[in-house]
Structure 1
Amino acid sequence: MDSEDLAESVLIHLDVETLIPGTLKHEKCEISTTRKCYSYIKKRTFATFVASKRVSSSPTDTSPVWQCCDETFSDPSSVHKHVSNLHAEEIEQLTTAALDQMLSQSEEAFQKQEDPNESQSDDPASWIPSTSHLSEEELSKGPGEVLLYYSYCQIRDPKLICSWQSELCSRLHLTGKVRVATEGINGTVGGTKTATKLYIKAMLSHPIFKIMQVEDFKTSEGGAECFSELKVGVYKEIVPMGVDPDTISYRLAGTHLEPEQFHKEVQSLLEDASSKNDTILLDCRNFYESKIGQFKNCLAPDIRKFSYFPDYVEKNLDLFRDKKVLMYCTGGIRCERGSAYLRSKNVCKEVYQLKGGIHKYLEQFPEGFYRGKLFVFDDRYAISFNKDIISDCSYCGAPWDQYQLCSTDFCCQLVLSCSSCRQKGLTACCPVCQAKEQRSSSSPSPGRPHREECECTDSRPRIPNDTL
């Protein structure tokens, strides 16, 4: 059977008419994004491809046989491995064809649905909930919290959404950071619980973000005081990986694992010594994040920015070759693009990611396999779910995990310096900065911009060669 005949056979037996969104939902298959739909169809395509290689006399034969590439396979695992290794490109092509055919067949149904971008008003105020029943004091004072969320979705006019977010957050007295792009939105905001509740309500009622659910908003103790100001802007990416989203899309991301599933995978990895040879538990955060908290036996790259992650992958492809990768980050968003980039290299056997990130995992397993603090990008620096301290004071080596900014003028590095060492004046990030601190005046020099990092970081390898 040539490739064209095989493709036609697979597509016929795949029965793409049963894959339209309405039917998938009826089968309780979540496809709120194109990526999930693609993943579902790929599994069905793989199964159909393997079935097309079966040559046993009857479907009910207890001893099935498969033939492919002039080889005969007598057990499912062997033929599955063969197809995964040698026919991955064909599976991808067939999956794409099936998806295109499904979309074509259901085009009329999609056209009848209202485009959320078309239904939104040009006036940002029209999507802001009424606060007339609340006083300014109720919105700005009282118990508070911090929200962390993201949503990948098509936004045709990110500037309009940016204006809406600015007005919404200001009206609700929220501070924080919100990134908007054509690929979606990513935000972390703090305020009173009254205000954050209204914020979530406004997000879920907006046509573009109605695909989100309340569970997509991760919460932690805090408030407006956790951020110095409100920053809302339009960007190319909602998480800065430094790779064009049109080149590496979140739609290529790895398979999501619920916290319960991820917990079981990590448990198996820790209990089964043999699995360590073919499974990598990958922390795709920055080194200062993983330093104060991480999963046991993880691989934590020594990178300072997420934009270094692609280069790290390029330099360490052999590390991931033929491996099963379990990836995690703070809230899940970096894994969306990070796993997509890793999968694009076609070296891993499988790529999975923790749905909802460490944040959601710790909500269910505070005493699980993640130990230490969870780093957050606000004035708290870290939040705690368990009492473990896995890091040390940079000066005396005593257990310590509370970050503070380097005291040297114009340096924005984070420092782990315990109370005792700080009382001794050891408050800089390194000896280089400490020497500068001793020579400098007590007041910062006017007119000079802050540096992102000091000279002492030049010696840090940008993309180190990590080994397990």
Structure 2
Amino acid sequence: MMQILNIAAYKFVTLAQPEALQASIEQALEQRTIKGTVLLAEEGINLFLAGPPSDIHDFLAWLKLDARFADLQTKQSWSGAQPFRKLLVKVKPEIIRMNHPAIQPAEGRAPAVDAATLRRWLDAGCDDSGRPVVMLDTRNDYEADVGTFRNALDWRISKFTEFPEALLAHKQDLAGKTVVSFCTGGIRCEKAAIFMREAGVENVWQLEGGILKYFEESGRAHFDGECFVFDERRAVDPELKPQVNPVTRPLAQPETRSRRKAFGLLSDS
């Protein structure tokens, strides 16, 4: 049975006219057996896609012909069937909504820590300078309930737009510590790290590639539970195996714009 390749990727890069990309990306995906979500905004691209490995690799090769996406990094996992019901390519005001337009990652990232270094810090209980390390979950409360880093701070936000206010309420808890923000694939913790730096929090890092990349490179060390994902797999464990195996569906007619409208669009939560 053919395995389905699932990829998650994002890049903060200035897209002056994201609408111009929308149609070409949608056409490229519809020419291949791929479903999922692509979000475009002036601040960049965010995608979660799944399909046969050859189609996924072919699409990525096509996308990377655009110099703006040549260095796009993906997180990969596998499932026995397609975990997405539809294909959605949409232009949004932000590829991850924070409601703070001054936060522009394309103009300069917060420092990032890779999975191996983070695991070493957590093993030691401190960073290379001897400061205690605190993990900060920037995801929604229901995601953290499925699994998170051991002893991570969880401010019980129900959506990412609540993060700035939560930070201001808990800022003093971070004083004197090395703070590592994390999320599923890296996009939320990247914006969160920049916001924290601009709010005056010192020694802030983002987990490069989020939980999914950490699972790829460091497994289950210091992580309890599974990582929630926004598709029919529900969650993946530290071996990147799905909590729920998607059901194989009969082949259907190609998804057209009118059919997607008739049957509803996949949530981009």
Determine if contact 1:175/1:230 at 8 Å carries over to the other structure. yes
Query: In the alignment, what sits opposite 2:86?
Result: 229
Determine if contact 2:2/2:80 at 8 Å carries over to the other structure. no
Query: In the alignment, what sits opposite 2:95?
Result: 238
Counting only pairs closer than 5 Å after superposition, residues 308-347 of structure 1 correspond to structure 2 as 308-346=162-200
Residue 193 (structure 2) pairs with residue 378 (structure 1): no
Residue 45 (structure 2) pairs with residue 192 (structure 1): no
Q: Deviation digits for residues 229-266 of structure 1, max 9, x if unmatched?
A: 1111111111112221xx11114542111111111122
Letter of the 1:152 counterpart: F
Question: How far apart, CA to CA, are the structure 2 residues paired with 1:229 and 1:217?
Answer: 20
Aligned-pair distance for 1:142?
3.3
Letter of the 1:302 counterpart: R
Q: What fraction of aligned residue pairs are identical, expressed as a percent? A: 27
Residue 152 (structure 2) pairs with residue 298 (structure 1): yes
Is there any run of 5+ residues in structure 1 with no aligned partner, and where?
Answer: 1-140, 388-400, 403-448, 453-468
Query: In the alignment, what sits opposite 2:23?
Result: 163
Question: How far apart, CA to CA, are the structure 1 residues paired with 2:217 and 2:211?
Answer: 10
Question: How far apart, CA to CA, are the structure 2 residues paired with 1:371 and 1:191?
Answer: 29
Query: In the alignment, what sits opposite 2:104?
Result: 249
Aligned residue for 1:310, secondary structure, equals helix
Cα gap change, 1:306 to 1:223, in 2 (>3 Å): farther
Question: How far apart, CA to CA, are the structure 2 residues paired with 1:206 and 1:142?
Answer: 30
Aligned-pair distance for 1:345?
0.6
Residue 211 (structure 2) pairs with residue 354 (structure 1): no
Determine if contact 2:83/2:232 at 8 Å carries over to the other structure. yes
Query: In the alignment, what sits opposite 1:363?
Result: 216
Cα gap change, 1:248 to 1:270, in 2 (>3 Å): closer
Letter of the 1:372 counterpart: G
Determine if contact 2:115/2:208 at 8 Å carries over to the other structure. yes
Query: In the alignment, what sits opposite 2:253?
Result: none
Aligned-pair distance for 1:155?
1.1
Structure ID, larger Rg: 1
Determine if contact 2:22/2:40 at 8 Å carries over to the other structure. yes
Aligned residue for 1:237, secondary structure, equals coil
Letter of the 2:119 counterpart: H
Question: How far apart, CA to CA, are the structure 2 residues paired with 1:241 and 1:255?
Answer: 19
Aligned-pair distance for 1:222?
2.6
Cα gap change, 1:270 to 1:324, in 2 (>3 Å): closer
Aligned residue for 1:232, secondary structure, equals strand
Partner residue of 2:64 out of 188, 201, 204? 204
Determine if contact 1:173/1:224 at 8 Å carries over to the other structure. no
Higher strand share: 2
Cα gap change, 1:315 to 1:323, in 2 (>3 Å): same
Question: How far apart, CA to CA, are the structure 1 residues paired with 2:235 and 2:220?
Answer: 17
Aligned length: 241
Aligned-pair distance for 1:224?
6.8
Query: In the alignment, what sits opposite 2:121?
Result: 265
Query: In the alignment, what sits opposite 1:179?
Result: 39
Q: Deviation digits for residues 90-110 of structure 1, max 9, x if unmatched?
A: xxxxxxxxxxxxxxxxxxxxx
Determine if contact 1:372/1:386 at 8 Å carries over to the other structure. no
Q: Deviation digits for residues 46-101 of structure 1, max 9, x if unmatched?
A: xxxxxxxxxxxxxxxxxxxxxxxxxxxxxxxxxxxxxxxxxxxxxxxxxxxxxxxx
Question: How far apart, CA to CA, are the structure 2 residues paired with 1:143 and 1:324?
Answer: 40
Aligned-pair distance for 1:187?
0.2
Question: How far apart, CA to CA, are the structure 1 residues paired with 2:8 and 2:140?
Answer: 18
Letter of the 2:98 counterpart: M
Q: Deviation digits for residues 121-168 of structure 1, max 9, x if unmatched?
A: xxxxxxxxxxxxxxxxxxxx9321111001111211101111111111
Question: How far apart, CA to CA, are the structure 1 residues paired with 2:83 and 2:55?
Answer: 15
